Structure 1
Amino acid sequence: MGTALLGLLGPIIGGIAVALTTYWTTRPKAQAEARKFEAEADRTRAETTKILAEIDMRRPSVAPQDTTPKGWNVSGSVPEDYEVGLDFEVFAVGRSSAFIRSSHENPTGYASLVQTIKADEYRGTRLQLTAMVKARDVVGWAGIWMRVDDARDHTVAFDTMRDPERRIAGSVGWRRYRIVLDIPETGAYINFGAVMERTGQIWLDDVRVDVVDVSIPATDTIPDLPRRPVNLDFENGTY
């Protein structure tokens, strides 16, 4: 009887031993991968916070001047280092375009042409911003941008073209660029426009804001958060 029982328990005990060995040998690797994932997430959050701090185009920082296109405002870290206006000789469509250009050889920040609208009609939709942009001798970077704020001025969706793969630099002919954001139900204001940092000039024309379907991928740079709570009973172990 004892021999028979040991014969039955032997494979089970062996399986448990293998499982425990596998668990304790693979756990450090899983923990390392989890720490790597967390580090990447922290780095992404830090980069996003840095961008939001550097490109804080929340409110116009200077009053509209005679040269500011109607319906738009000028914002930026040092907007006085830049000129903003209309160009009736360089344009993509129609009769004119807007421009941002450095006013001297050593601007210390950036300037943005910005428009802010209420989010009421767009909540729950996917919104696409497109614009034609032309650049000349841009030393820093330039691009279009869009941001959604809630009623407390907290950013709930955001994208610029600041990353190296998407930014505009140097001299580029007319080209259409795109940003796509999901507008949350908490969204109160939608801000959009164009930005340029350091020397050079950009032209902006034929700006469009359209609701699109989910087949158009979103370009939000704020890190994705879980859609639902997880592990609320703490039964799924640790990293």
Structure 2
Amino acid sequence: MNYEHFIQQSIQWIESHLHEAISANEIAAVSGFSQSHFHRIFQNTVGISAIEYIRKRRLANAASQLLYTDERIIDIAFFYQFESQEAFTRAFKKVYQLPPGRYRKIMNAMHLHKEETKMTEQLKGWFISGSHPDHYEIGTDQKEIHQGRASGYLKSTDSADDEEFATMMQQFKADRYRGQRIQLSGFIQTKDVQHFAGLWMRVDNSSEDVLQFDNMSNRPLTGTTTWNRYSIVLDVPDHSAAISFGVLLTGTGGVWIDGLSFQTVDANTPTTNMQLENELMEEPVNLSFED
């Protein structure tokens, strides 16, 4: 059974309740599963427990508030349901290697907390492509983050229109994954996406023929959405040469990505491949165009 829809539903609920007390039973109830079953599938799907996910999301939001607001540390701690400033400090330091007050002071002093850093030609590993890449920009954002210190973003500029698209992408050799089924997963949020946005992945052979492909156009992200987890699953045939992947934005708006990962999965995980197999017919048909 594919649990992705149930996990997305649960994460959406979590995102809207991060500043509230959340019980394990409440989270499970959103999915419709028993508490034990829900927490098992959440751990297996996301890679961490639901409780750990909530803790990391609260800390990421707290880190952003430390840089972009003048809220007192104790108020931030209580807002995100930490029992005391000391408990918040211990948890924050474990993830960010600095206590909250020092983190705020150092980042402010170094001017490293710019909301967005445009890095169209300097973002390590990533490049921009598409129909009109000059009408879009990519970069890192230290305010809109899912976990850690930054996320990547792809945004339209004033020159873009709904007939254009761009992608922030990478390419790498398929050697490691040949003969396997792989899953690309990551966290995405969107703002004012007028057409659609989503993850995408493509597997090519040495002649650059497309062997497998999915761009989430059959499950698009539109409008403004909160952080959630999405995935693509493709087979990598033995004669594969390259794997390309990234985030796609068609039309105007903005999309943020964070926490991308690759892993091999077994045949029980259904593929999301959108390429139709081209099968030869037994004989020609409809030659008079009457059918």
Distance change in 2, residues 1:153/1:197 (3 Å): same
The alpha carbon displacement at 1:224 in A equals 3.2
| Separation (CA, whole Å) in 1 of partners of 2:127 and 2:203 | 17
Kept in 1: contact 2:135–2:159 (CA 8 A): no
| Separation (CA, whole Å) in 2 of partners of 1:105 and 1:185 | 42
Amino acid at match of 2:272: T
**Aligned mate of 1:151, from 206, 217, 220:** 206
**Aligned mate of 1:189, from 220, 230, 242:** 242
| Separation (CA, whole Å) in 2 of partners of 1:103 and 1:115 | 22
Match of 1:10 in 2: none
| Separation (CA, whole Å) in 2 of partners of 1:66 and 1:140 | 22
SS state at 1:95 partner: coil
Amino acid at match of 2:125: G
| Separation (CA, whole Å) in 2 of partners of 1:66 and 1:230 | 47
Match of 2:139 in 1: 85
Match of 2:215 in 1: 160
Kept in 2: contact 1:120–1:188 (CA 8 A): yes
TM-score by length of 2: 0.54
| Separation (CA, whole Å) in 2 of partners of 1:209 and 1:190 | 11
| Separation (CA, whole Å) in 1 of partners of 2:120 and 2:248 | 20
Structure 2: segments with no counterpart, 5+ residues: 1-117, 284-291
**Aligned mate of 1:99, from 153, 178, 197:** 153
Q: Relative contact order (alpha carbons < 8 A, sep ≥ 6): 1 or 2 greater? A: 1
Match of 1:214 in 2: 267
User: Root-mean-square deviation (CA), in Å?
Assistant: 2.1
| Separation (CA, whole Å) in 2 of partners of 1:77 and 1:106 | 10
CA shift digits 1:50-97 (9 cap, x unpaired): xxxxxxxxxxxxxx9556421111111001111110001111011000
**Aligned mate of 1:135, from 150, 174, 190:** 190
Kept in 2: contact 1:68–1:74 (CA 8 A): no
Match of 1:60 in 2: none
Structure 1: segments with no counterpart, 5+ residues: 1-63, 233-239
| Separation (CA, whole Å) in 2 of partners of 1:222 and 1:142 | 19
Paired residues in the alignment total 165
The alpha carbon displacement at 1:106 in A equals 4.0
Kept in 2: contact 1:105–1:199 (CA 8 A): no
Distance change in 2, residues 1:66/1:105 (3 Å): closer
Correspondence list, 1:18-29, <5 A: none
Kept in 1: contact 2:130–2:165 (CA 8 A): yes
Distance change in 2, residues 1:110/1:181 (3 Å): same
CA shift digits 1:133-171 (9 cap, x unpaired): 0001100100000001100111111111112xx100000
Match of 2:169 in 1: 114
Amino acid at match of 2:214: D
Amino acid at match of 2:130: G
**Aligned mate of 2:230, from 170, 177, 196:** 177
CA shift digits 1:165-191 (9 cap, x unpaired): x10000000011110000001100000
Q: What is the percentage of aligned positions where both structures have the same residue?
A: 36
Which structure would you say has the larger Rg?
A: 1
TM-score by length of 1: 0.65
1:72 aligns with 2:132: no
